[in-house]
Chain A
């Protein structure tokens, strides 16, 4: 078992004929993900890595219905692509693209709410259920199937943590990147609820960072969870008012500080690792 995606998930790739689209289509196929079609307007009839390319999501869905779609499209066209996928009936949408305008993200989320679509991202590396399915851009070899759910706001930092778990022999049920933007689809709480309900997941690692109050809200939910949660947070040394790479990683008006997140999580019974390499020992001890 796993959350959100598994070995049966059928996937479309929007922007498949672009550089990123082609490369990561190959990587996802190599991991065993079931990619059933690609979309590039005007390039229908071509194929990438043996996968048929269509002109529209609607056309692709008629050829073979898919459960999920992943977007590798330049930022200014992401909104249209996302709306297209949702109107065509896609229920899980992964938006890899970074630099999506904030108001476009607002429009995408409003439509997703209406259509009952779960969105991962924007500005995410995607998600993976190790050994079953990968939708995203993370390196294939750092994951190990297992019982720990990982949910993170940032990409390479979660690679770091996941790789460490893998090296310690601790496998993962699913790893979900929420995305680094101010407005993203799935939240920590959404994914924590899925991990709590998933019989295969025995514990959760949460990788957060400064800015916003997503970690504080997650802490409220964690109080009601039966499974242990370990956290690592980045940004302890970040000065206020500076945007640390991610649009969402900024301490504004005294909100979103490292201290406030540690305090909220600790109060909810979460063990917060002060150094990244402590995570695997902490989760081992918590199981």
Chain B
């Protein structure tokens, strides 16, 4: 789960990382008073996407009236396809130097990795590798002050600024661990008139650990359909093609989508429905697929331990009770596959053992051929 900048900064502030004075608004009312109190401000749209500045999502204002106007303007905006419904109004800061600082997980090394650079303020992907300072962290000892001091030395900071930066790095690691973060990023960490401030903040929390941070507000990134699927325990991603897909297992689902593309059509969704064969679960999954109005459905089941005749009976029952009126093609492999296929065919559902035959058929049906 990605957090909005204002949420990340609230966490930073609560954990002792200095941030500019700021307040989140959902309406322009109150912005003028806030500007009166803090002086010139940056008005920042709160969206879960990078490159906000370039897209015009950050404005500056020096008077209360101007602040109000900019707030109105941003709150009426759509940025990168996302409606802006929150803004963060922050004191404008003088920037003497910009630093990049992040902690994330290096999957290949199975360890957290700290990344820092003197080239702050730009997209980290644009920063040449030789300008990145990287350091793997052993979670059993954590990030020790000597390691933070070494990073700060390489960033070229000295004196009190260096001490403050070390403190920020250590606190950022504490936040990374305490909040089960996949990513904590400050870009830029600025040197402003002799002090250090987190001018931006990004946090992505691990959804699997959500039971540990119930007090963090939830940010919904899923579409309505994705959310319904999630609530049913189905892994679902909305795409924009023609054929609705349901399979069991993430890898096989991805491979099924690839095949549909290779055979000349396009998938409407990714749906890993897991291994169950209950009519209830099947009905729930099919309802979601049908709600997206695909031209045809492809169901690819590698039965494994599940019995194919059970799966077939569930589909027949659901199809008959729901009155599905688009072509459905099922591929069934596993225990009792012949029996399962026979049951499906009896009820007018195209079914195959071979995945290539099933995909060819569903693509033809979606294209209005060979029904």
Contact = CB atoms under 8 A, between A and B. Distances in A.
Interface in A102-126: 102-107, 109-111, 113-114
Interface string B39-59: 000000000000000000000
Contacts of B255: 157, 160, 232, 234, 276
A207 interface: yes
A41 interface: no
Contacts of A99: 208
A131 B239 CA distance: 42
Contacts of A246: 250-251
B33 interface: no
A212 B254 contact: no
Contact of B250 (A27, A107, A111, A245): A245
B270 to A, nearest CB: 6
Interface string A138-157: 11010000000000111111
Contacts of A239: 239
B83 interface: no
A27 B305 contact: yes
Interface stretch (A86-94, A179-187, A198-206, A222-230): A179-187
A243 interface: yes
A197 B272 CA distance: 36
Nearest to B354: A277
A138 B208 contact: no
B110 A106 contact: yes
A244 B105 CA distance: 19
A213 B108 contact: yes
B138 to A, nearest CB: 6
Interface in B292-333: 302-305, 333
B253 A244 contact: yes
B257 interface: yes
Contact of B304 (A138, A153, A237, A249): A138
B110 A109 contact: yes
Interface residues of B, number: 50
B206 A159 contact: no
A141 B249 CA distance: 18
Contact of B254 (A159, A183, A187, A234): A234
Given A139-B334, A163-B333, A276-B255, A214 B206 contact: no
Contacts of A163: 302, 333
Contact of B249 (A101, A110, A155, A235): A155
Nearest to B359: A275
B85 interface: no
B248 interface: yes
Given A102-B208, A244-B253, A244-B254, A156 B248 contact: yes
B342 interface: no
Contacts of A75: 208
Given A101-B212, A182-B107, A237-B258, A242 B237 contact: yes
Contacts of B182: 102, 182
A101 B180 contact: yes
Interface string B263-282: 00011001010000000000
Interface string B114-150: 0000000000110000000000001110000000000
A212 B235 CA distance: 20
A136 B189 CA distance: 47
Interface of B: 105, 107-108, 110-112, 124-125, 138-140, 177, 180, 182, 206, 208-209, 211-212, 235, 237, 239, 247-255, 257-262, 266-267, 270, 272, 302-305, 333-335, 355-356
Given A102-B206, A103-B180, 17 more contacts: A27-B305, A100-B208, A101-B208, A114-B140, A157-B249, A158-B251, A160-B252, A160-B302, A209-B250, A209-B254, A235-B254, A235-B258, A243-B237, A245-B237, A274-B262, A275-B259, A277-B355
29 contacts: A27-B305, A101-B212, A102-B206, A102-B208, A103-B177, A106-B105, A106-B111, A109-B111, A110-B110, A110-B139, A110-B140, A139-B334, A139-B335, A152-B251, A154-B250, A155-B249, A159-B249, A159-B304, A163-B333, A180-B250, A183-B107, A207-B251, A232-B255, A235-B254, A236-B261, A237-B254, A238-B270, A242-B237, A244-B253
Interface of A: 27, 75-76, 99-107, 109-111, 113-114, 137-139, 141, 152-160, 163, 180, 182-185, 187, 207, 209-210, 212-214, 217, 232, 234-239, 242-249, 253-254, 274-277
In the complex, the 9 A-B pairs of residues with the closest C-beta atoms, listed nearest first = A154-B251, A245-B250, A156-B249, A157-B251, A101-B209, A234-B254, A109-B110, A156-B252, A234-B255
